[in-house]
A and B are shown apart, each in its own frame.
Chain A
Amino acid sequence: MGKREGKWFYLFISPWLIGFIGLTLGPILFSIYMSFTDWDLFQSPHFIGFGNYKTLLTDDPLFWKSVGNTFFYALISIPVGMAISLWIAYYLNKKLKGITFFRILFYLPSVVPVVASSLLFIHLLAPTEGLINKGLAIFGIHGPAWLLDPHWVKPALIVMSLWGVGGGVVLLLAGMKGVPQELYEAAAIDGARSTQSFFHITFPMLTPVIFFNLVTGIIGALQTFAQVFITTAGGPDNSSQMVVPYLFQNAFQFYKMGYASSIAWVLFIMIMALTLLVFRSSALWVHYEEGKANE
């Protein structure tokens, strides 16, 4: 029985197991090896030890610039996006006429493929004819050149990311539905206003969802690619260059396969370190209902 079961088990999981060996484990080992060589796809690779990592970390200002830009982008777009999505969820959770319409409307931008939204934002963010600067002009604000200005290109990408803010609202709304109604009733009897019960009841109960959104947000932001590639190609003056577009450039435009592999591993370490940091911090601020945490 046991042996027969084993045969069936491996037969059933074989699609994954073969893929794991051929498309994940094999490539990982290959990538580690490549990162220690100077391979350029055309000549045979030479083993250069930690040469790529040394260059990357000590002698490549453009890499550090792209790391800095990526972190700047992540550090602002994630908290701002999370605050706005929480704010939106607060209102979308109210029992109002037509609320379903608003829920759908607020979610729609997040299903727009990034290619389409990037091309659209080239126009929305255009210096004089763009809709955003025209809108700002109504309030007497002279808008910047956004994607064309080295100082404003990162804020421009952040504005772009905020259009899709509704994507994170879905889980927040689901979390809000899970908050026991009695808590609000008790708070109302004690005279709490709705904003008070939001900060003292809803918010703590939502911290697991916020935690989830934070982790996925960090991983996503550090992997930003298509927006940059399409709107600015890293410019102007490399002020929007980010890690993944830089990796892409090295691998598929310069064919520096070894160097690109070392960038990938440094990126992997950055993602892991940040994720671990957030997981460690969660004990301080993520509230789990007692007894439910180990469910």
Chain B
Amino acid sequence: MSKISHVEKAIAYIFLIVVGVLLASPFLYMISIALASDETTVKSAFTFVPAEFEWSNFVTIFSNNNLGLYLKNSLIITVITIIGSVLSASVVSYGFARIKAKGSKILFVVLLSTMMIPGEVTMVPQFIIFRNLGWVNTFYPLIVPSFFAGAFNVFLIRQFVMGIPKSLDEAAMIDGMGHPGIYWKIIMPLTYPILAAIAIFSFSWNWGNFMGPLIYINDPEKMPLALGVQLLTTVGGGQMPPWNLVMVASLFLTIPMVLVYLFGQRFVYEANISGGSSGIK
């Protein structure tokens, strides 16, 4: 925007600071609860700005509450699903973007239309399938589906590949390269930015995913962090949950998301723009 008067500038800063404080204060409260002592926690006498600094909470949560195990489970599930979703969507999108074959157009329409089906429709039958395979209380129901190329990811990469000049492929074909070579050596390396975005999407979806683990995992030893945090709050016998420790665990759940956003926002931004605007048109 062009010139901004001093009054407008002042109004803008007041607005940004007021809204900024409103949006930042829950974070501060989260830290304050995480650092509260057990006595304060029992009384629920938390303060807005941290008044106590019970750093030992960050040790207790590992020694008494399995946090290390939850983190490990989350990490395993997330890393494997990222690999699965990026790799499968990348391969499939090459097929849709670059190989002409009978039925390819119809299948692409089918792929797009699957995006309209809410997960709730397939949730119950999938549960029954995985249950019959004996996969309840294993990571398989959470990781195996990622290897079958998500429709949205395929769509995003395909759009990106369509923008790569076909002359590259043709030159390679003249040199005697087949589709696997062209995909692996020429196209795939050029799609790294969009693959990075998909890795980030996949990370944020799986790291925070609550419903999937809730359906499939009952064994606390197998729980990822998102479910493990919630388990901490379900204490029996009319007792109060250890809220300070719950918030420490919540911080461990939140911080990786923040870091990934800070370091990956560039990729996400570009994918958002291309995905968002192509969704509009």
Contacts and interface: CB of A to CB of B under 8 A. Distances in A.
Interface stretch (A53-61, A91-99, A143-151): A91-99
Interface residues of A, number: 93
Given A31-B121, A105-B20, A116 B262 contact: no
B4 interface: yes
A285 interface: no
Interface in A95-130: 95-96, 102, 104-109, 111-117, 119-121, 123-124, 126, 129
B253 A116 contact: yes
26 contacts: A9-B104, A12-B91, A16-B92, A20-B114, A23-B122, A28-B122, A31-B125, A94-B4, A96-B4, A105-B20, A105-B24, A106-B20, A108-B258, A113-B226, A113-B253, A119-B229, A129-B46, A131-B26, A131-B29, A194-B8, A226-B211, A244-B120, A251-B124, A257-B128, A268-B118, A275-B116
B276 A96 contact: no
Contact of A13 (B2, B23, B95, B258): B95
A274 B206 CA distance: 28
A111 B257 contact: yes
Contacts of A114: 208, 210
The A interface is mostly helix, strand or loop, or mixed, namely helix
Given A26-B125, A293-B281, A12 B99 contact: yes
Interface string A9-46: 11111011111101110111011001000000100000
B215 interface: yes
A257 B226 CA distance: 26
B217 interface: no
Interface stretch (B57-65, B163-171, B191-199, B243-251): B243-251
Given A12-B179, A16-B148, A264-B121, A119 B26 contact: no
A208 interface: yes
Interface string B247-280: 1001101100110111000000100110011011
